[in-house]
Chains A and B, each alone.
Chain A
């Protein structure tokens, strides 16, 4: 049993420590939770709940923010 699991973050495979929460995934990626919106398997997870949701192998995570647009 490895100590990491593979999840899909923004369409790309990403290894994160087994048992990570969504907040842990953000930490692994060096992202500030205040600057991103997290969608976990198509459900938006709000900031206060990020440390309460664990990720499982194969989970689809989308990390989005505002960029310039019309």
Chain B
């Protein structure tokens, strides 16, 4: 459902030389029911959906447990991730396998540094990003909200920097709007906030910071009704983006009346 808005013109979201209508990207993990997943993805309006590379389950060979039977690659742009990788070498191996399995040379690069928080290993991330860019990948780098790391990633030639709002799967929302705004102000490549969004208000506040896009998985998959949350997130991302483009009023610590002071009765 398109919502026509006067003056609501936005530029397309561009990354790696491709343009997308939606600024929302969604993951495909953790859904109990694949049919619900597909409906939630459709409700979200996302063009880009992330997938993981894993071993084929040989015990269930033939009864395809892959996801391509559920997702139409003509409808969704499949973005392979390197989730679960803890070294640059491992992430590069997964990226290459994902490129072979997929339909494009984009990769959502994750190099995880800590099992408990799933926070990124920025040294490994930079090493893998540099190598994969050299191999012709469009690298979307999942990172923390540190400006210096983001600048190094941009220097390495990544297609997008993807700082976290808060830890993966936490649903804590945007913990440091200042850092995210700073990244967006300083970087030239797209900034796509990835991970930590829990509900629609989190998505809206994140987009109000002026970032180019937002990626989420658990917020939909773990909602009581993932399809309804998909709708909510589509609206929240659009609302946050529109509010950013509109430019918010300044904050004041005193009241300013909205109605005229003149013309009051004696």
Contacts and interface: CB of A to CB of B under 8 A. Distances in A.
Interface residues of A, number: 24
Given A36-B56, A66-B53, 9 more contacts: A29-B58, A31-B56, A44-B97, A63-B58, A65-B66, A67-B51, A68-B28, A69-B27, A70-B217
B55 A69 contact: no
Nearest to A34: B68
A34 to B, nearest CB: 10
Contacts of B100: 37, 44, 46
* Residue of B50, B61, B62, B93 most packed against chain A (CB within 10 A): B61
Contacts of B29: 68-70
B61 A30 contact: yes
B67 interface: yes
Contacts, number: 99
Interface in B142-174: 168-169
13 contacts: A31-B61, A35-B64, A37-B53, A37-B100, A42-B93, A44-B96, A46-B100, A62-B97, A63-B58, A68-B28, A69-B54, A70-B168, A70-B216
A69 B97 CA distance: 15
* Interface SS of chain A: strand
Interface of B: 27-31, 34, 37, 50-56, 58, 61-62, 64-68, 78, 80-81, 83, 93, 96-98, 100-102, 168-169, 195, 215-218
A12 B56 CA distance: 12
A42 B94 CA distance: 11
B61 A10 contact: no
B65 A67 contact: yes
Contacts of B61: 29-31
Q: 7 closest pairs, A vs B, by CB?
A: A69-B52, A70-B27, A70-B217, A68-B28, A65-B66, A66-B51, A37-B100
A5 interface: no
Contacts of B34: 68
Interface in A43-70: 44, 46, 62-70
Nearest to B96: A44
A69 B62 contact: no
